[in-house]
Each structure stands twice: as C-alpha cells, then as structure tokens.
Amino acid sequence: MLEAKTKASEGKVKKRKSRDAVKSDIQAVCMILPQIIGLILFSIYPIVYVVKYAFYDYDMVTARFIGFDNFIRIFTNDPAYWKSILNVIIIGMSKLIVEMPLAFLLAYIIDSKFIRAKSVFRVIYYMPNVMSAAVVGLIYYFLFSASDGVVNALLLNIGAITEPIAWFSGKWTAMLVIGIASLWQGFGVNVLFFSSGMTTIPRDYYESADIDGATMLQKLIHITIPSLGPIMQVICMLAIINTLKMNDLVKVLTNGNPAGETEVLMLYLFKKFFAYGSGQRAEIGYAAALGVVTAIVLGIITLIYQRMTRKMNE
C-alpha cells in the first residue's frame, strides 16, 4: 500500500519534471528558430536551387530541362573556366612557397629570446588582414598603376627601370601584382598561427636541449619544426581554401583582365551568374552547373589534401 503510494507520488514528480523539460525544449526550439529558418532560407534552399537548375537551361524567364548538357559543356567547351581554376592554383602554390617560410621565420624570430615588444610586431603584421579585400585591391591598383603609380615612380627614381611598366596589361605582371597584394594582406595570419603554435611548445624541451649542448639550428630542426607539424597542416589548409575563394581583390585589381587572362574561379562563377558587363543572355542554369562542378572540385582538393597530410603523419 505504502509502496504503491510512494510509487504514485514518484510518478507524479516524474511527470511534473518532464512537463518542465518539455517546456524547456519548446523554449529552446523557439530560441533557435531564427537560426533554423536562416539555415533553410540562406543555406539549404540555395544549395537545392543550384543543384536543380544545373540540369536546366534557364535564362531567368523560361527553364527547360536538358539533363547533363550543361556539364558536358563545362568539360568540353569552356576552357576559360579551367583556366580560372589553373590561375588560382598557380597563385595559391606560389603564395604558399613564399608565405609559409616567411611567416615561419618571422614567428620564430618574434618567439626568440632576443626580441622584446613581441606583440607590437604581431599587431603590425596582422593589420592588413582587417582591411577589406576590395579596398586592398584599390590600394594596389593605385600603387601599381602604369603612368602615375608609386611603384613605377620609385623604380624609375632608383634607376631599376627606364620606362614605366604597364603592370596590368600583361598576364604575368598582373598575376604578380595579385600575388603581392594577397600575400601582403594574408601573411600576418600565418605569423599569428605559427606564433601561437610556438608558445604551446613546452620550454623544458629547449632547456634540456641546452643542457645537452644543442645549437640553435639543432633545436629548430629537432624541436620547433616537428612540434609545429599539426598546426602547419591547418595553416596550409586554410591558406589553400582562402586562395580558392579569392574574389573581391581580383575583381577590383584586374577584373580578370587582360582578356580574361587573370580570371579566378569565384569571380568567373560570379560573372556567369550575374552576366555583368557582357550584355549576354543570362545563363543561370549553366552557372549553376559550374557551381556544382566547383563545389565538387573544392571537395576533391580538400580530400586530396587530407589524404596527403594523413600519409605524412604515418
């Protein structure tokens, strides 16, 4: 009898508890609802839209299902698209080659016992990063402009060149300016990443190496670099993704010119969707197919990268 009673009251308590829990759940869902709606409207729906219209011929007025025709066109009849991918790969690779050793060296120097005011240098190096990529594009457009640019004027003054270089008229000089501008804007992030990686290396490693009489170079090769392995992989990954996403800077600096020679992936896609400055018929379906292929290409690059780093770890 008594047992039954306590059970009954326990049941009551449980029920009340669960009613409170249900109330909390409902409140929690309501609080997160704006994010859920945003996710559906601005992430999921756009992805579904792009995947769907990739199989259509759509000019904003009529949509006609055409199966894989858009994809066939990408792979057989759109060299400009593949050139834009090649361009970001060229820019990305050359940047990595310069940026990684530079950022590592700077972080290493800052971390060394010789340097005071460490944070002053970190703050300066990271500064270009907080600026708009479009505005950075404009600044470099100003610095490198052909007739009245600062760089040409300085080079003329010191006698390195005899007449102004038209930086934006040739593919490789234009690519060089894009590379310099994006290197200038981005290297500071990597200094910060390397720096924060170096502060996590336990000091006793270095102390015991000192006791064993290790030189600075030995400590660098046997302690610092191996300890930074994992963070280096993250840094490279982020650097690659950022280059692939490059858009605003190139749009302002060269807009893909001369004659589409400096086109980059995202800018090419953007132009296809919005058909800017061409007066052509809008090809939303084809642009969507390009979007799908681009997403797949990006996915493949990420996968290859992860495979490579996993192999390196083993």
Partner 1 sequence: MKKINLIVQIVLYAVLVLIAAITLIPVVYTFFSSFKENMEILNNSARLLPEKFRWENYVEAWKLADFKTYTFNSLLMAGTTAIGVMFFSAIAGYVFARASFPGKNVLFFIIISTMFICLGSITLYPIINVAKLLHINGSILGVSVIQIFSANATNIFLARNFVLRLPKELEEAAAIDGCDFFQTCMKIILPLLKPIMATIGILAFSGSWNEYIMPMVFTLGNPKSYPLTVGLIALQSQGEAATSWNLLLAGTTMAIVPILVIYLVFNKYFTKGLTEGAVKG
Residues of this chain, 58-97, that bind partner 1 according to CB under 8 A: none
Q: Which is nearer to partner 1, 8 or 196 (CB)?
A: 196
305 binds partner 1 (CB under 8 A): no
194 binds partner 1 (CB under 8 A): no
Nearest-approach distance from CB 257 to partner 1, in angstroms: 12
Nearest-approach distance from CB 130 to partner 1, in angstroms: 4
Nearest-approach distance from CB 308 to partner 1, in angstroms: 18
Nearest-approach distance from CB 207 to partner 1, in angstroms: 18
Half-sphere exposure of 136 (CA within 13 A, CB side): 22
Subset of residues 218 to 247 that bind partner 1, contact rule: CB under 8 A: 231, 234, 238, 241, 244-245, 247
Angle between helices 284-313 and 45-53 (to 10 degrees): 110
300 binds partner 1 (CB under 8 A): no
Nearest-approach distance from CB 4 to partner 1, in angstroms: 30
Question: Which of 142, 202, 226, 308 forms a contact with partner 1 (CB under 8 A)?
Answer: 142
Q: Using CA of residue 152, residue 155, residue 161, residue 167, what is the dihedral sign? A: negative
Q: Which is nearer to partner 1, 70 or 294 (CB)?
A: 294
Question: Which of 140, 167, 168, 286 forms a contact with partner 1 (CB under 8 A)?
Answer: 140
133 binds partner 1 (CB under 8 A): yes
Residue 209 contacts residue 149 (beta carbons within 8 Å): no
Question: Which of 10, 13, 38, 303 forms a contact with partner 1 (CB under 8 A)?
Answer: 38
Q: Using CA of residue 302, residue 303, residue 308, residue 312, what is the dihedral sign? A: positive
Strands (E) located in 15-152 = 56-58, 63-65
